[in-house]
Amino acid sequence: MDTSLDPQMAVRKTPLVANERSMDWVTEKVSNIVESRTPIWWWLAFMVTSPVACFGLFCIAYQISTGVGVWGENHPVGWAWDITNFVFWIGIGHAGTLISAILFLTRQKWRTSINRASEAMTLFAVICAAIFPGIHVGRVWMAWFLAPVPWYEGVWPNFRSPLLWDVFAVSTYFTVSVLFWYTGLVPDLATLRDRTTSRVKKFFFTLFALGWRGSNRNWRHYEMAYLILAGISTPLVLSVHSVVSFDFATSVIPGWHATIFPPYFVAGAIFGGFAMVLTILIPARILYPQLKDLITPQHIDRMCKIILLTGSIVGYAYTMEFFIAWYGGNPYEQWLFLRNRLADPILFTKILHWAPYPAPYWWAYWSMITCNVLAPQVFWFKKNRYNLWVVFIIVNFVNMGMWFERFVIIVTSLANDFMPSMWHLYHPTWVEIGTFVGTFGIFLSLFLLFIRFLPMIAMSEIKIVLPESDPHRVAPGAHAGTEAHSPQL
Amino acid sequence: MIATAPQAKVYGMAAEFPTVAALYHAAEQIRDAGFKRWDVYTPFPVHGMDEAMGLGKSWLSAVVLCGGITGLLIAVVLEGYPSLIEYQTVVHGKPTDWTTVPAFVPIFFELTILCSAFTTVFALMVMSQLPRWNHPMFNWERFSRVGDNGFFLAIEARDPKFSEEKTRALLESIGGNHVTLVHDI
């Protein structure tokens, strides 16, 4: 069609599903991922990730059986890789809920291609996160002290403590994410149930599809339930990382005691989460080429824009922390920021002479700035957002940078505290490194299992954005209401 | 066409429609014909189908509101009773009186959300009469495409206006294909 003659056509947007695919095509291609034989690359990948996961579990078992002293933590650095990893993983989870809830409420229809995989990623990231607060208490068998029961000498937990808020926030987040994810899965499980020929699969799909049959009397309640779950997940996702940040912000440690922490942490979580979504979906899209029409360059472009936005918010928060340290006039705060984080060996020590010697963790701080603030700026250019190599490299910078951010916040604030005689640089042991690497094994193994056994694209949702799903559609190319209903230009 | 053994009880009369638009207009006509016990089956929620079927707004939200309030009350009791009344723990010499109530807000919020979410999912199941292991519609082999690209409409035999000949004629006249008597087992 000659779009230059029709002014209406010229402003139409690119369709969300490329190449005008039909509903049957969507069902076939997405179900095929689950139904076809396990590809060789899957086994090769699983052969790498599952031993790594097992090594992580071994490190955890070793730490629990021997004691928390096998880690490098000691006074004054009582929190180090454990809580860094906890905050890192819980942050990664946030993108899934943002996509499934906030983008749903704001009617961003492009979310339908990526929400299922991102929600799964949320669950697996929260599982990885939940390991660390559990094992860092040392005596894991006493972790039930966190539960609100007066079983220990009749003493209740302190409900005024952010650490207890965190227990409620993270467990609620995980539970609600599971419910939301499962609710979204039910119609797709019914599709797989109706397609499968295997008796065993039929049994399990029938069990978990709950007898779903696409009835409109059910869809009516289902849509309301989905809307409510999105509505309550939106404040929930914003609250979880806020509560995580309260663990730090309500303390008196310089570098932690900042009111900017909740929004700063939430923006950082979304930033890091989208980076992880892209880290996983870009390879998935190459390994399953049929996904290329569902997860289009347009989707990647929009995720890159969110990374650019949230990365810039994070950059603003870093700047504002410094400004407040200077403007607030607290000498401990000023000392911490300059002498423990910022002072690099050349600019601040040799040229500006603001510090007599470099900060012990200057490399971590500047890695964070490079990865989180500078690297995403390449996404200002459309050419870069559409180049998968550039995107993949930059999002991995972001993944690293977000880990460094938590390391910088936690360790640099603790290592050189109020009493110089206590100053102590922190070094991780092989057990801590092994546990952290192991969580990547757990995360990726769970994700590989997910894409083998469950539909990684929300079929029933993506069909809504196809032009043929509109009951009021007149004819192809004629007037259509929304962006999804327009033909490809 | 007969989906199951003829001696089985009749569940209803079902038809398949080629497009979502055809199903939508068929639903409007069945609604206007005054049927009460009937349903349409689609692979995805169809925009505007509730109005086409004459269904009102789902009141699931009202149930969830009750669930959320219950969650809030649980949190108020769970935090307030031990912390303010039964066992006031003094931590760092900080106060334990009613002025500390803002510190309880995060858990108020979390439990409200948690109970709302559980209520949403359980209310969805109760109101949709799920889970169930089987359904008469599954006896019709064409119906297996409902999760793919099939659009179906079924009028139940227990509807007072149901009659085998007239309902079949009606479904055929409004554009239904493969009009079939579906049997219960």
Q: Do B147 and A188 touch (CB under 8 A)?
A: yes
Work out the average pLDDT over A286-300: 91
Whether A461 is covered by a domain: the verdict is no
- What integer is the mean pLDDT of A399-423? 90
Strands B177-183 and B10-17: antiparallel
When CB atoms are compared, the residue of A183, A217, A460 closest to B43 is: A460
Q: What are the residue boundaries of the structural domains of chain B, listed by start? A: 10-54+132-183, 60-127
Statement: residue A461 has pLDDT above 50: yes
Q: What is the CATH number of the domain that holds A338?
A: 1.20.1630.10
Residue A421 forms part of a structural domain: yes
Per-residue pLDDT reduced to its tens digit, B133-158: 889 999 998 999 998 989 999 999 99
Dihedral angle over CA of A322, A323, A325, A330, nearest 10: 160
What confidence tens digit (pLDDT) does each residue in A162-213 have?
999 999 999 999 999 999 999 999 999 999 999 998 999 999 999 999 999 9
- Average pLDDT in the B4-25 region? 85
| Co-location of A88 and A228 in the same domain | yes
Non-local (6+) Cβ contacts of B76 within 8 A are B104, B108
What is the C-alpha to C-alpha distance for residues A300 and A388, in angstroms, rounded to an integer? Answer: 8
The residue among A323, A209, A404, A426 whose CA lies nearest residue B135 is A209
Residue A328 pLDDT greater than 60, yes or no = yes
pLDDT, chain B, mean:
90
Residues A478 and A447 in one domain: no
B133 → closest Cβ in A179, A182, A211 = A211
Q: In the predicted model, is pLDDT for residue A476 greater than 60?
A: no
| pLDDT reading at A423 higher than 90 | no
pLDDT category, B59, cuts 50, 70, 90?
Answer: very high
Same-domain pairing of A76 and A93: yes
CA B83, distance to chain mean position in Å, is 41
Contact call for residues A284 and A242 (beta carbons, < 8 A)? no
Lowest mean pLDDT among A4-18, A93-107, A120-134, A252-266: A4-18
Q: In terms of pLDDT, which residue wins out, B25 or B8?
A: B25
A53 and A8, same structural domain?
no
At residue B61 the predicted structure's pLDDT band, cuts being 50, 70 and 90, is very high
Token representation of residue A59? 């490190």
CA distance A25 to chain B (A): 9
A174 and A205 co-located in one domain: yes
Q: What is the pLDDT of residue A440?
A: 96
- Same domain assignment for residues A403 and A480: no
The pLDDT-based confidence of B65 (bands split at 50, 70, 90) is very high
Nearest CA of chain A to the CA of B32: how many Å? 17
What confidence category does residue A4 fall into, taking pLDDT thresholds of 50, 70 and 90? very low
Which candidate from A165, A191, A222 shows the least CB-CB separation from B147?
A191
Residue B69 touches partner A, C-beta closer than 8 Å: no
From A457's Cα to the closest Cα of chain B, the distance in A is 14
Same structural domain for residues A136 and A254? yes
Whether the per-residue pLDDT at A488 is higher than 60: the answer is: no
Percent of chain B predicted with pLDDT > 90? 72
A75 and A4 co-located in one domain: no
pLDDT above 70 covers a percentage of chain A that reads 94
Q: Which residue has the tokens 């209310």?
A: B123
Looking at residue A486, its pLDDT comes to 41
Nearest by CB to B124, which of A216, A225, A463?
A225
AA identity, residue A185: L
Residue B139 touches partner A, C-beta closer than 8 Å? no
- A485 is in which domain, residue-wise? 1-14+466-489
**Is pLDDT of A152 > 80?**
no
Query: Which pLDDT does position A154 carry in this prediction?
Result: 74
A33-71 pLDDT, tens digit per residue, is 999 999 999 999 999 999 999 999 999 999 999 998 999
H or E segment and range at residue A437: helix A430-453
Search chain B and give the residue with CA nearest A191: B147
Per-residue pLDDT, averaged over A438-450, amounts to 96
Does residue A404 sit in the same domain as residue A439?
Answer: yes
Q: Decide the pairing of beta strands B38-41 and B10-17.
A: unpaired
Instruction: Report which residue type is found at A443.
Output: F
Assigned domain for A459 exists: no
Q: Which chain B residues are Cβ-neighbours of A239 within 8 angstroms?
A: 106, 109-110
Q: How confident is the model at residue A417 (pLDDT cuts 50, 70, 90)?
A: confident
CA distance A130 to chain B (A): 17
A156 with B113: Cβ contact below 8 A: no
- Nearest-CA distance A399 → chain B (Å): 28
> Do the Cβ atoms of A150 and B50 come within 8 Å?
no
- 8 Å CB contact of A160 and B103: yes
Q: Does B83 touch chain A (CB under 8 A)?
A: yes
A172, A216, A217: residue with CB nearest B113: A172
Q: What is the pLDDT of residue A474?
A: 62
Domain count, chain A: 2
Contact B46 A219 (CB under 8 A): yes
Claim to verify: residue A450 and residue A477 sit in the same structural domain:
no
* pLDDT of res. A485: 43
In terms of domains, do A474 and A332 share one? no
| A211 and A63 belong to one structural domain | yes
Contacts of B87 in chain A (CB under 8 A): 150, 154-156
Residue A393 lies in a domain: yes
Q: How many CB atoms lie within 10 A of CB A60?
A: 20
Average per-residue pLDDT for chain A = 89
